[in-house]
Amino acid sequence: MALQQLGIGSGGKLKDFYRLFVLPTSILAGTSIGAGVFSLPFVFNKVGVGAGFIYLAVFCLVFVAVHLMYADVILRTEGRHRFVGYARFYLGKSASWLATAMAVLSMVVVLLIYLVLSVSFVNLIVPDAMGDFYKMAVFWLLGSTALFLSVRRLALAEFLVLWGIITVIGAIFIFGIFEAGAFGKIDWLFFSPAYFLLPFGPILFSLSGRPAIPDVIDYYDSVGGDRRGLMKKALIWGTVIPAVVYAVFVLGVLFLSGEVSEDAISGIAGALPRWVLFGIGALGVVSLWSSYIVIGMDVRDILAYDFRLPKVAAVLAVFIAPMALFLAGFQNFLALVSIAGGVFLALEGIFIIAMWKRAASLSSVPSVFFAKMPAAAIYALAAVFTLGMVYEIIKGVI
């Protein structure tokens, strides 16, 4: 991509390219890339690989629009707020409480997903040591004790998450592509109508990067100047890059796996050298642990500041809730990812669309990223999230 196309200029200004495009793009991409990726190979294998990639491309476009909509809302609103604050301003007090409850529940489910997934990575490091429950419990204790720290974030947490998972994905793809008969394992034309809606929740969960949007905007504010053209490109590429990374991961796992497991990792354990498995396990555990701490602190702060809980009570709630849900039997990785994406993040997407529409009538600032969006496109976006949410709710009830 030419520097001129990014509005940075020429003359070999690679430092500006890194500072004004690569870094802010990485903020969004790093937030989006996470545990959801490990559900995608199984989902694609069920619905059909070709159909899975079509889903990924379409949902990537959906999130490009939604991420730009949320950035639009932030830039058109006076002052800085959290997601709940924008919901209160544009949709009313009742909506803000629903948004707060949704945020807490979704993040607790994400913590639970990390607990379930941690066992697969720890098994790559010490497959024969103690039982799975004890491995999960050690991970839970290490992640939960950090909640008692007073720091807002642990240093380099986002960096560890992003590059840890990208390294895992890269290693799996490289070994997979050299597997004998790798490409012959994929039937690109296969499609299973019975699993038509299965990808909704996992892909929504995997592509959402809404919490990073304010950070991208704050970053451009800090460098000064009118950078909204660059900001739009960073938001677009920060959404597209995770989709490309996920496509690479899906192919790598499918190349390696005889039978694709729900968490992707268990199914490739017999196809890689021991030292590679150890490295993947270590990077995976560190990445999950860093994410667990960051998300746990976010939940702790919401409970303390929005629900007015004493800080000790907020910490104990985050400490206990994921383990309590695990012990209650919520241990199916794919089901949890589907609920988090298909219910909570689908509802979040609907909130963003509603706030963006409301901002058109309440804000005196014109739209920053959209000259005009047809009503049909807005309703189509809302329909995607609504369909995913209805499907997951019905599936849960039945």
Model confidence at 3: pLDDT above 70: no
What CATH number did the domain enclosing 285 receive?
1.20.1740.10
301 or 398, which is more confident: 301
Residue 323 contacts residue 115 (beta carbons within 8 Å)? yes
5 inside domain: no
- Is 165 or 10 the better-scoring residue by pLDDT? 165
Q: What's the chain's average pLDDT?
A: 85
The answer to whether residue 2 is domain-embedded is no
Residue 33 lies in a domain: yes
16, pLDDT greater than 50? yes
Structural domain includes residue 137: yes
pLDDT tens digits for range 104-156: 899 899 999 999 999 999 998 988 778 889 999 999 998 888 777 654 444 44
User: Residue 317: which pLDDT band, with cuts at 50, 70 and 90?
Assistant: very high
What's the number of domains the chain is made of? 1
The residue ranking higher by pLDDT, 130 or 59, is 59
Q: How far apart are CA 372 and CA 90, in angstroms?
A: 20
**Which residues have C-beta within 8 Å of that of residue 186, sequence separation ≥ 6?**
49, 251, 254, 255
Residue 59, in any domain of the structure? yes
Count of residues making up the chain: 398
Domain residues for the domain of 354 are 13-397
Is there a domain that residue 330 lies in?
yes
Mean pLDDT of 192-216: 90
User: Given its phi and psi angles, is residue 264 left (phi above 0), alpha (psi -120 to 50 degrees) or beta?
Assistant: left
| Rounded Cα gap, residues 91 and 137, in angstroms | 41
pLDDT value of residue 298 = 79
Q: Is residue 77 part of a domain?
A: yes
Q: Residue 308: pLDDT band by 50, 70, 90 thresholds?
A: confident
Position 145 in a domain: yes
pLDDT at 74 over 50: yes
Q: What is the CA radius of gyration of the chain?
A: 21
Least confident span in 61-75, 148-162, 375-389: 148-162
- In the predicted model, is pLDDT for residue 227 greater than 70? yes
